[in-house]
Structure 1
Amino acid sequence: MRAGADTAVVVGTGPNGLAAAVTLARAGVKVQLYEANGTIGGGLRTESLFDPDIEHDICAAVHPMAAVSPFFRAFGLPERGVDLLHAEASYAHPLDGTRSAVAYRDLERTCRGLGADGARWRALMKPLMEHTDAVTELILSGPRALPAAWPAVLQLAPRALAHGTSLAPRQFTAEPARALLAGVAAHAMGRLPSLAGAGVALLLGHLAHGSGWPLVRGGSARIADALAADITAHGGVFHTRRHIAQLRELPPARAVLLDVAPKGMLRIAGGGLPDGYRRRLARFRYGPAAAKVDFLVSGPVPWADPETGRALTVHLGGTQADVFRQETLTAQGAAAVEPFVLVVDPAVADPGRALPGRRPLWAYAHVPHGNTSDPYELIRRRIERYAPGFTDTVLAHRSVTGAAYEEYNANYVGGDIGAGAMTPTQILTRPAPRLDPYRTPLAGIYLCSASTPPGPGVHGMSGYLAALSALRREFGVRKAPPLCPGEGAPGSG
C-alpha cells in the first residue's frame, strides 16, 4: 500500500473542518488535522479577555443552525454534554422611545405583541414551522434534499418573493413587524431587500419560534471541544501552530480537505490549479465586514424597553427602511452613519456566564469590506441610543476592526464572517460552478469551508458533505458512517 493510502488531511479546524474530520475518522480513515492558530475551533473560540473568571465568545455566540443541522443532530450535542440554552425571547428589535418588537419563542405571544400585524406574522411563520424539517433540510443540504423538500419549496418561494423584493414594505401594516423581520434579513450581510435576505429571514425567523436561537452553556468552544474529543477517540491527530503555505508541505494522503476560503485555496494551490478554475475562484465575491467589540460590563444592558432584555440577541437598526438603506450602503462600500448592530448578552440565557458586577457582552456592526475603523465609539453610541446609561456600565472593552477579523481567521476575507457574499448566484454556485462543489480539479483535493454549500453558520454541513464526497470518490465508502455516541468504530465517544 502506498504511503498515505488510508489517510486524509484536513487543513483548518473551524466547525466545517472538524465536521469533515469526524466523518472521515468514523469511516475508519486516519485523519491528520493542521491548524495555523494555537487553538482549534475557528469561529468557535471562547477566551477570557479581561477577567480570568469571565469568558467571551470571540466570534460565533448564538447558534440557531447548530440546533437543526442534520450533522449536529446525528452527532448528538446534548449527549456529549453540550447544552444549548435559550432565552425567553430569541431576538428583539428596539424602536425609538420605549417601543420594541420582540420575537418570543412562543409564536402566539409574539403575534399578540405585534397587534394588527399578528395575524400576518402567524401566516408567515406557522406554515414554515409545520414544515421546518423539510425547510432546514432543503437549505442545509441543497439539491440533494429536493425530492423530499417540495413542501418546503412551495412554502418558501412565494414568501421570499414577497419579502425579498420591492413588495417587502407592503407585507405588514405597522413598523414593529416590518423592523422585526428586517433585522433578521440583515444577517445576510448584503443589499436589502433581496431574495437572499428574505431566505435568511424566513429560515432564522421561523426557527426563532421553534428550535430557537440558543447559545452554548459555558461558551461556543464547547462545540469544538466535543468534536475534537470524538476525532481523537477515533485516532485523529491535531497539529496546531502549523501554517500551511503550500500543498506540498502536507504529508502523503489519499484526500486533502481544505477548510479555507477561495483566497486561501489560491494561495495554497499556487500555480497547480487549471486556469479556468483559478479564474473562477479569483472572481469569488466577498461581502461586507463585521467590526466587533467585546465588552466587560457591570450589569445587564439597561434597555429603555425592559422587554428587550428578555431576548438573547438584539438587533439595532431602526425602521425597516433604515435597515434596508444601511445594509445597501454597506454592501456598496459606503459607511453608514448608523449601521446595523447586533448585540448578544450571554448571561440572559446562561446566568453562569456572569458574576456579581461583571458579565460579558458581545456586539458587532456591519461595515464596508476591509474597513479599518475602530468600531468602539460607533457601537457604544448605537447601544446607548436604545439603552440610556449603558456607557456607565462598561468596565473594559476590546475592539476588532473589520480588516483585523481576517488576521484572526483567514477565512474572514476583508472581515466577511460569511466567507462569501450571499448573492443569488453565489448561493447556488459557491465557490465555483461545478456538479460537486467540494471537489476541485486537483486529484484528491476538496474544499470544505463555509465558502461551499450551504454557506455560513455553525452547522458543520459543508465539512460533512465534503467528507462524504471524498469518502465516495477516494476511499470507495458510499454509506455515511454513524455519528452518534456509542456507534461507529471501536473507541467511539
Structure 2
Amino acid sequence: MRDVTVVGSGPNGLAAAIAMARHGLEVVVLEGAESIGGGLRTRELTLPGFRHDVCSAIHPAAVTSPFFREIGLLEALDWLTPEASYAHPLDDAPAAVAWHDLDRTVEGLGSDGDMWRHAMEPLVRHVDGVVDLTGHQLLRVPHDLRATAHFGLRTLALGTGLDRHLLRGDGAAALLAGCMAHAAGRMPSLAQAGAGLLLAAHGHAGGWGYPRGGSQAIADAMVEELARHGGRVETGHFVTDLRELETSRAVLLDTSPELLRTSPTSPASYRRALNRYRYGSGVAKVDLALSGPVPWLDPPLALAPTLHLGGSRDAITASENAVARGRVSPRPYFLAAQPSNLDDSRAPGSGHTFWAYMHVPRNSTVDPLPLLLSELERHAPGVKELVLASSTRRAHDLEAYNPNQVGGDIYTGELSLLQLVRRPVVSRAPWRTPIPGVYLCSSATPPGPAVHGMNGWYAAQLALRDMFGVSAQIPSA
C-alpha cells in the first residue's frame, strides 16, 4: 500500500506532496495533463519562442507565503520585483501607479495621498499579521490582533462603499477598485474589499513579483524539491473515481469539490453539503505575441508588469456587477500583464508577450479579443499593428482544458463572505473529508485562491496527524 497519493500538480497539490514527502513518506502525484503545474503552466500559446503563462502570471502572495519561505522556494528562483507593482490607465487623467515604494505612491496620488498612506501604511507595517489573518480561515482566533483591527476596519469601509467619501480622486479610487476586482464578484462587498486590500498591501510590502521564465518556474522548482525527498509525479493520469485510490493510506485532492460531490464513497450528507457550494463567474483570456512593447501614451505604464484596464472606479464596479447579473459590460474590466517588460526570456528578439483576462458569466462564449484590443487602443494607439498572433480561451473552453475550472471559474468557487466560511463546507477543519484518509487541498479550501501553497500545507498537516501520527506545526507568517 502506498503512503500518499496527491491528485493534481497545481501549487497546492505540490505543496501537500512536499509536506508529506519531507516526513519520509512515499508520495506520488497524479496529474491528468501531460505536463505539470496546473495553473502554473507556461507554454508557447501563440508563436514559437513566445512563452505565455496559461493561467496565473504575477504572484504577490508567493513572496509572503510561510510555506514557500519554509522550503526556500523564492531563493531557488530568479525573482523579478518591479518598481511599479501595478498601474491603472485613466481616460482623462494621468495613469495611477502603485509603486513598490509607498512614499512615491503617496506623492503621485496628490490630494488622496495622505488617505492612501492612512489606509496602507499600517497594513504594510503589519503585513505578516495580515497574511496570517487572511491566509487561514475565518473560524479561528488570529495571532496579531492589531493587524486584524487595521485590516478589519478598512475592509468594512471599502466593503460598504465608505471609500467613496474617503478617496475622491480618480487615481486612488481606481487603484483600489482594480485590486478589488481581482476577486470576481459584486462590488462593493466585504469579500472583494478584503481581497483588494491584501493585494494592495502586498504591492508596498513584498511587491508584485514573478519568476523569470514564467510561472512554470515555480512548479518546476516545487517538483525538484519533491524529488529531493523521494516523491515523484506521474502525468497523463486522470482520476475520475476515488475508488481507484483506495490502495493509498492518505489521498489529497488538488481538485474542485466535484470529484467528492459525485463520488459514491462520499456520505450522502457530505454530498448534500457540496451541492450547496457555489461556483463563481468565469474568465475569458487572451494572450498576444507582439513585435514590440505596448506603445503606452503614459510612459509609467511601461514600468508596471500588472495593469488594471477598464476605466474609473464606477466603470469597473459597473462591469463587475454586470457579470454578477449574468451579463457582460460593453467596456469590461481586464486584469492584464506584460511580463516581458522585465523578463527578456519570454519572447525572441524585440518581441513581447501580453496576457489579459476579463470576467464573464460561467460557460460564456464571449470572445475577449476585440474587447481587449479596443481598451488597449484607448491608451496605446497603434498596438493592434504590433500583434503578430493571438490565443484566446473563452470561459466554456477552460473547463475542457482543466476540469477543475468549472464553467471557466479559475478560483474554484465563488468569492463571497459566505464562502470564505463555507469553503467548501462549514468546519473547523474543512480540508478533512468524511471519507477516511481523503483530504481536499485545492483553492476550494481556505485560504482560497492564490499561489502560496498554504491550502496544500494545511491539508497535509491534518493528514500527517490523522493517518501517520506526526504532529507537524505550521508557524505563523
SS in structure 2 at match of 1:352: coil
Show the counterpart of 1:42.
38
Equivalent position to 1:137, from 132, 139, 146: 132
Q: State the aligned residue count.
A: 475
Matched, 1:113 2:136: no
SS in structure 1 at match of 2:444: coil
C-alpha distance in 1 between matches for 2:163 and 2:142: 30
1:479: how far off?
2.4
Flag the 1:352–1:36 CA change in 2: closer, same or farther, 3 A: closer
1:122-161 alignment to 2 at 5 Å? Answer: 122-142=117-137, 146-161=141-156
1:453-468 alignment to 2 at 5 Å? Answer: 453-468=446-461
Equivalent position to 1:221, from 216, 219, 229: 216
1:426: how far off?
0.4
1:166: how far off?
2.9
C-alpha distance in 1 between matches for 2:227 and 2:284: 34
Flag the 1:326–1:61 CA change in 2: closer, same or farther, 3 A: same
AA in 1 matched with 2:455: S
C-alpha distance in 1 between matches for 2:75 and 2:301: 32
Show the counterpart of 1:411.
404
SS in structure 2 at match of 1:292: strand
Point out the more displaced range, 91-100 or 200-209: 91-100
C-alpha distance in 2 between matches for 1:356 and 1:221: 21
Matched, 1:441 2:434: yes
CA deviation profile, 1:149-195 (whole Å, cap 9, x unmatched) = 21111101111111111323112121111111100000110000010
Show the counterpart of 1:19.
15
Show the counterpart of 1:487.
none
Equivalent position to 1:471, from 461, 464, 469: 464
AA in 1 matched with 2:8: G
Show the counterpart of 1:489.
none
Matched, 1:402 2:398: no
1:269-418 alignment to 2 at 5 Å? Answer: 270-418=263-411
1:13: how far off?
0.8
Mapped contact 1:124–1:159 kept (Cα < 8 A): yes
AA in 2 matched with 1:304: L
Show the counterpart of 2:186.
191
Flag the 1:313–1:481 CA change in 2: closer, same or farther, 3 A: closer
C-alpha distance in 2 between matches for 1:359 and 1:335: 29
AA in 2 matched with 1:50: T
CA deviation profile, 1:307-352 (whole Å, cap 9, x unmatched) = 1111110101211111111101112211111111111011222233
Listed as ranges, the gaps of 5+ residues in structure 1 are 483-493
Q: Percent identity?
A: 47
Mapped contact 1:264–1:410 kept (Cα < 8 A): no
Show the counterpart of 2:422.
429
1:98: how far off?
5.5
C-alpha distance in 1 between matches for 2:100 and 2:17: 34
Aligned residues: CA RMSD: 1.6
AA in 1 matched with 2:91: D
SS in structure 2 at match of 1:102: strand
Mapped contact 2:285–2:358 kept (Cα < 8 A): yes
C-alpha distance in 1 between matches for 2:402 and 2:378: 31
Mapped contact 1:91–1:311 kept (Cα < 8 A): yes
C-alpha distance in 1 between matches for 2:436 and 2:294: 53
Point out the more displaced range, 93-102 or 349-358: 349-358
Mapped contact 2:138–2:421 kept (Cα < 8 A): no
Mapped contact 2:184–2:320 kept (Cα < 8 A): yes
SS in structure 2 at match of 1:470: helix
What is the TM-score with the length of structure 1 in the denominator?
0.93
C-alpha distance in 1 between matches for 2:339 and 2:440: 33
C-alpha distance in 1 between matches for 2:10 and 2:293: 31
SS in structure 2 at match of 1:142: coil
Point out the more displaced range, 352-361 or 238-247: 352-361
Equivalent position to 2:240, from 231, 239, 245: 245
CA deviation profile, 1:426-468 (whole Å, cap 9, x unmatched) = 0122001122100111111110000000000001000010000
C-alpha distance in 2 between matches for 1:187 and 1:21: 28
C-alpha distance in 2 between matches for 1:143 and 1:336: 33
1:238: how far off?
1.7
1:49: how far off?
2.5
Mapped contact 2:67–2:454 kept (Cα < 8 A): yes
Show the counterpart of 1:490.
none
What is the TM-score with the length of structure 2 in the denominator?
0.97
Mapped contact 2:293–2:351 kept (Cα < 8 A): no
Listed as ranges, the gaps of 5+ residues in structure 2 are none
1:368: how far off?
1.3
C-alpha distance in 2 between matches for 1:317 and 1:385: 10
C-alpha distance in 1 between matches for 2:55 and 2:195: 19
